[in-house]
Amino acid sequence: MTRVEADPILNQPQIYDPYDYALHDDPYPVYRRLRDEFPLYYNRKHDFYAVSRYADCMAVLRNFRTFINGRSTTLEKEIIPGSLPFILSMDPPDHTRLRHLMVDQFRPHNVAPLESVVRETAQKLLAPHAGTGRIDIIADFAAKLPMAIICALMGVRPEDEDMLRGWTDDIVHREDGSNEIAEVNITGTRSLLGYFEEMIQARLARGEAGEDIVGQLIAFERQGKLNHAEVLGYLYLLAIAGNETTTKLIGNVTYQLWENRHARDRLVADPALAAAAVEETLRIDGPTQMQGRETSEPFELYGHTIPAGSKVAVILTSGNRDERHYEDPESFKIDRGSRDHLGFGGGLHSCLGAALARLEGRVALEEMLKLMPDWDIDLANTRRMHSAYVRGYTHLPLIFTPRSAA
Amino acid sequence: MSDVAFTYIQPDGEEKQVEAMEGMTLMEAALFNGIDGIQGLCGGICSCATCHVALDQALYDRLEAPSEGEAEMIAMLADHGPTSRLGCQVSINEALRGARIRVLGTEA
C-alpha cells in the first residue's frame, strides 16, 4: 500500500493554493471551508500543510521550538539567492539578540512623536487631488506614504523612494500559480542590498554614521553587536516591511469603509473612531494573510503527524475570521475592539513595526475623511496585487465630491 | 551570557521552574518554556499587555521602574496591582535568580 492510500490527508481536495491568482479576489470562502472541513490541510502541488482555525494558528505562532522560521517565512523550499539573514529568517537566540537591538524604537511611545510628520506627508500627498474629485488611493497616496516615512527614518534621499519601492515590489513578485524564485526577485534583492551598501560606505567615507536607523546599525556593527551581513539584512527587511503591508492596509481600510457605509458615516461624525476602524480592518481583511513556518520535529495535529522539515502555512486572516473565536466574525464592526487578532502575527515574530503601521493607517484615514468623506470606488479599474502572503490593491481609483481650493 | 533560574507561578497555581538566558525578557522566557497565561501577542513592543505578571515587592524595587509607555498599558488592565509589570519589558538578569513570578493571565 502506498502512503497516499494510507493517509487520508494526502487525498484532500486541493482547494487552497495561495499562488493561484484566482484565489486572491476573495479567499475568504475557501478559508471558511478549510476551518470547517480541513483544519489541517495538505497541499500536494507545493508540499505544505496549512492551519486555519484561530486556536491552531495561535498554537503554531507561540510554539517557536517546533515551528521555526528557519531560513524564511515563505513556503518556498528555496530562498532568493543573494539574500541575507534578517529577523524573520532567524530563530532564538540570534533572533532575540537582533530584535532587542531595534525593539525600543518601535514601541508605541517612541513612534508617537512621528505623528506630525506622517500627517504633513499625508496632507501633501492628498492635497493636489482634492479639487479634482479623483485619486488612485494606492498609486497616488498609500504606496507613497509609508515609503516616505521609512525612508526618512533610514535617511534615504526622497528622490530615491520610487526606485526603492520598485525593487521591493520586484522582490515580493510571484508568477501566477508558481512558487519558483523569479529573476526579478534576484535582481531586486541585489539592487536593494547594493543601494544600502553604497549608502553605508558613503557615510563611512565621510566619517559620519548619522543619527538615523542606518547610523544606529553602523554603531551596532562597530560595537560587535551585529555583523555586516546582519546590518544589510535589517535594512532589507525594514525597506520591504515598511512599505508593502502598510500600503495594502490603507487600501483595505478604504475598501472596507466603502463596503460598510454605515461605519464610514459614523467615522465622519466621530473621527476619533479611526483607530478602531483600522484595527477592525486588520482583523477582517489584514494585508498579511498568511505566514509560513517549518517543523523542527514531528508534530501531531488532528490525528495526523506532520513530519519534521515540513512547511506549514499559518493563515492569519482565517484565524481572524474563525467563528470558534469571534462572534459574527465576517461582519465589520467598528466597536469590536479585538486586541487579540492575528493581523500582525503573534508570538516572538509579531510585527516589529505594528505601532508605526497603526499610526500611519489612522492618520491616513483621518486625512482622507477630511478631504473625501464620500469616496466611491471605480470598481472596474481596480487592480489587485498577486502574492501568496499579502492581500491588497495595486490600483484603487476613487471618485469623490471635489473640494474647491481654499 | 549565563542562564538564570527562577520560577513562574501559572494562573492555576502550578509552579514551573525555568532557566533562561540573560538578556531575554520574562515574556520570551515564558513562551520558551510553555508557561500558561503569557500570550506575548505583540512580540514585545509593549502593545498588547498579554504578558502581565506580578513581582515580589523586593524584586520590583530592585529593577528599573517601568517606562511611561509600560505604566500606561498597565494602568489600563483591570487586575493590575502595585508590582505589576509587562513581562516583555523586564530583562532577565541576576536580580531574577530564584525569583517567583506570578503570571496573571490577563486576556487580550
C-alpha span between A373 and A126 (Å, rounded): 13
Q: What is the ipTM of this complex?
A: 0.81
Q: Which residues contact A11 (CB under 8 A, 6 or more apart)?
A: A4
Asked if pLDDT for residue A4 goes beyond 50, the answer is no
The residue to which cell 520590583 is assigned? B60
Given an 8 Å threshold on Cβ–Cβ distance, is A96 in contact with B46? no
Q: How many residues does chain A have?
A: 406
Asked if pLDDT for residue A377 goes beyond 80, the answer is yes
Query: Of A339, A344, A349, which is closest to B108 when you measure between CB atoms?
Result: A339
How far does the CA of residue A265 sit from the closest CA of chain B (Å)?
28
Asked if pLDDT for residue A1 goes beyond 50, the answer is no
Cβ atoms of B72 and B104 closer than 8 Å: no
| Span A2-9, average pLDDT | 62
Asked if pLDDT for residue A322 goes beyond 80, the answer is yes
* pLDDT classification of A86: cutoffs 50, 70, 90: confident
Q: Quick one: pLDDT at residue B107?
A: 66
Diameter over CA atoms, chain A: 78
Element at A109 (helix H, strand E): helix A108-111
B108: contact with A, CB 8 A cutoff: yes
* pLDDT classification of A347: cutoffs 50, 70, 90: confident
Question: pLDDT tens digits, residue range B37-80?
Answer: 998 888 888 888 889 999 999 999 999 999 998 999 999 898 99
Chain A residues touching B34 at Cβ < 8 A: 63
| Span A122-140, average pLDDT | 97
Asked if pLDDT for residue A59 goes beyond 80, the answer is yes
User: Exposure string (b/e) for A47-84, b if CB count within 10 Å is 16 or more?
Assistant: ebbbbbbbebbbbbbbbbebbbbbbbbbbbeeebeebb
- Helix A183-206 / helix A161-172 crossing angle, nearest 10 deg: 140
Q: Quick one: pLDDT at residue A18?
A: 95
- Helix A244-259 / helix A274-285 crossing angle, nearest 10 deg: 100
- Give the whole-number percent of chain A exceeding pLDDT 70: 98
Residues 15-34 in B contacting A (C-alpha not used; CB under 8 Å): 21, 23-24, 28, 31-32, 34
How far does the CA of residue B99 sit from the closest CA of chain A (Å)?
22
A206: contact with B, CB 8 A cutoff: no
Q: Quick one: pLDDT at residue A2?
A: 47
| Span B5-20, average pLDDT | 96
- The pTM score is 0.92
C-alpha span between B44 and B92 (Å, rounded): 14
How many helices (DSSP H) and strands (DSSP E) are in chain B?
A: 3, 5
